[in-house]
Structure 1
Amino acid sequence: MARSKEFEENVVLEKAMKLFWEQGYEKTSMMDLVKHMGIHRRSLYDTFGDKHTLFLKAMDRFRDKVNAELVGEVKRSKNATEALQLIFSFVISVKEDSPSGCLMVNSAVELAMRDTEVDLKTTELFTLSEQLFKDIILRGQQDGEFSSDYNADDLAEHLHAVFVGLRVMTRTSIRKEKLHRIADLSIKLLTK
């Protein structure tokens, strides 16, 4: 008779995601994962496969969570400027129970050049992020809130680069006030 799982898969995947996010892929050992997730090594392998497969699943979980949160922020906004402010504030403000920075950006820096699966996942998320920025910019241009002097695709690429840069900078000791100034100027450059 097969044993039933003694853990909730999403709960332990969340724990693995946060550990990879905090330490990175290379620094996180299987022993770290077993200890942090609170499950047996055999259960980890049976449920998630090897470390690399678990890491890819953790990346998917991160993508889904962040995308849902950002889309939710945008939907609640009154206008395009507020949508961008909410997104940048989301990036700069680190929740108490979350590591700083971004799992996807950290993973791209650490692994994308030598791991095609990680590269694919980070590139997919970056494409989603650029599309979100493009949609907001188009909204702002249509409402007359933002200048139409530049193509929305080009502006989205630029804002995404700022977004990624801010994600990296949140992992440093740079003061949040400086990060907010950078975000505010990036938004101001879009206005008429």
Structure 2
Amino acid sequence: MARSKEYDENEVLLKAMQLFWEQGYERTSMSELVEFMGIHRRSLYETFTDKHTLFLKSLDRYGELMDFRLQQGIIQAETAAEALHFIFKYTIDENNNYPLGCLFVNAAVELAVRDADADMKATEGFAREEQLLEEIIDWGKQNQEFSHDFVSSDLAESMHNTLLGLRVMARTSISKEKLYRIADSSMKMLEG
């Protein structure tokens, strides 16, 4: 008779994601994962196959969480400008609350050059973020909040690049004031 799982798969996946987020892929050992996740090594292999697959599933879970968090804030925004301000604020403040940066950025910097799977996951995450930004920019153009001088997809790419830079800079001792000045400059670009 097959044994039932003695753990919540989603819960242990979140723990793995946290450890990869804190330490990176290469610095995280299987022994550390087993201990941190609170499961047996055999269970880890049966459920997640190997460390690499677990890391990729962690990236997927991170993407789902980020999408959910951003959507929750955007839903409450009454204007496109408010939605973008929320994204910038979330990026700056969340990084200061959890100085782990963005797991997609971390994966891209650490692994993308030599790991096609990690590169694909990070690239897909970045593409979703750019798509979200483009939709918000289109919303702002329709409501006459933003200038029509530039193509929305081009603006989304530029804004996404700014957000990625802010995620990296927020991990340093650079002041929040400077990060908010950078965000404000990006917003002014939309006004034309």
Q: Same fold (TM over 0.5)?
A: yes
CA separation of 1:97 and 1:155: change in aligned 2, threshold 3 A: closer
For the structure 1 residues 96 and 188, does the alpha-carbon distance in structure 2 shift closer, same or farther, using more than 3 Å as the test? closer
Gapped regions of structure 2 (runs ≥ 5): none
Q: TM-score, normalised by structure 2?
A: 0.95
Counterparts of 1:42 and 1:51 in 2: how far apart (Å)? Answer: 12
Q: Structure 1 pair 97/47, CA: closer, same or farther in 2 (3 Å)?
A: farther
The amino acid across from 1:138 in the alignment is D
Q: Are the structure 2 counterparts of residues 86 and 143 from structure 1 closer, same or farther at C-alpha, using a change threshold of 3 Å?
A: same
1:54-92 residue CA offsets vs partner (Å, 9 max, x unmatched): 000000000011011112211211101100010111111
Q: Contact (CA 8 Å) 2:48, 2:54: kept in 1 or not? A: yes
What SS does the corresponding residue of 1:83 show, helix, strand or coil?
A: helix
Residue aligning to 1:15 = 15
Partner in structure 1 of residue 146 of structure 2: 146
* 1:38-62 superposed Cα distances (whole Å, 9 cap, x missing partner): 1111111111110000000000000
| Correspondence for 1:174 | 174
- Root-mean-square deviation (Å): 1.4
Of residues 175-184 and 128-137 in structure 1, the stretch that sits farther from structure 2 once superposed is 175-184
Structure 1 pair 46–114 and aligned structure 2 pair: CA distance change class (3 A): same
- Runs of at least 4 residues off by over 2 Å: 94-100
Unaligned runs of 5+ in 1: none
Q: Check the 8 A contact 1:16/1:36 in 2, yes or no.
A: yes
CA contact (8 A) 1:18 1:98 kept: no
Closer, same or farther: CA 48–96 of 1 in aligned 2, 3 Å = farther
Partner residue of 1:137? 137
Taking only the aligned residue pairs, the percentage that are identical comes to 57
TM-score, normalised via structure 1 length:
0.95
Deviation readout 1:72-117 (Å, 9 max, x if unpaired): 2112111011000101111111278845210011101110111111
2:124 maps to a residue whose letter is E
* Number of aligned residue pairs: 192
Aligned position for 1:47: 47
